[in-house]
Amino acid sequence: MVAALAASAERVALLVDVQNVYYTTRQAFGRHFNYHAFWARFAAGREVVMANAYAIDRGDPKQRQFQDILRGIGFAVKLKPFIQRSDGSAKGDWDVGIALDAMEAAPLVDRVVLVSGDGDFDLLAERLRERHGVAVEVVGVERLTAESLIRAASRFVPIEGELLL
């Protein structure tokens, strides 16, 4: 019976845009995202095929500690170096990497859970649903999530309550 249940478990990819969720939860609530509660809610009863947290590496010891916590929860932490441009602006987004990983996961999963409010992901959500038949759950701060992304998702889950620390 247990083997039958495991075989029928929904397969899921969990993809977290760490920078986006950090800044949006801070701006909207002055609080942090609760990664433990997220994992408990979105991985429960599902087979986690991929779980990636995409972050920028500044080489900061506190940041490394945070990354270790993410790894302890079950995430693979993908890092890009923080780049400070000569004009003072910064670069370090993971949009293309997240999109590529989502497309690679599509044939292997039933559902992609994307934690981000970035409207650039609306086309990704549409493609995953329409071409691959994958359900796309978007988790984001409601008032800071692009309307186009909310519309493109199979389901939108606002960050609130237990998803905040």
Residue 32, amino acid:
H
Please report the pLDDT score of residue 59 as a whole number.
Answer: 81
104 has a pLDDT exceeding 70: yes
Give the HSE-up count for residue 8: Cα atoms under 13 Å, Cβ half-sphere.
5
Helical axes 35-43 vs 61-73, angle rounded to 10° = 20
Please report the pLDDT score of residue 92 as a whole number.
Answer: 61
What six digits make up the tokens of 30? 């002055």
Render pLDDT for 67-80 as a digit per residue (tens, 0 to 9). 999 999 999 999 98
36 has a pLDDT exceeding 80: yes
1 has a pLDDT exceeding 50: no
Residue 148, amino acid:
S
Beta 111-115 vs 76-81: how paired, if at all? unpaired
- The DSSP string of 85-137 is -TTS-EE---HHHHHHHHHHHGGG-SEEEEE---GGGHHHHHHHHHHH--EEE
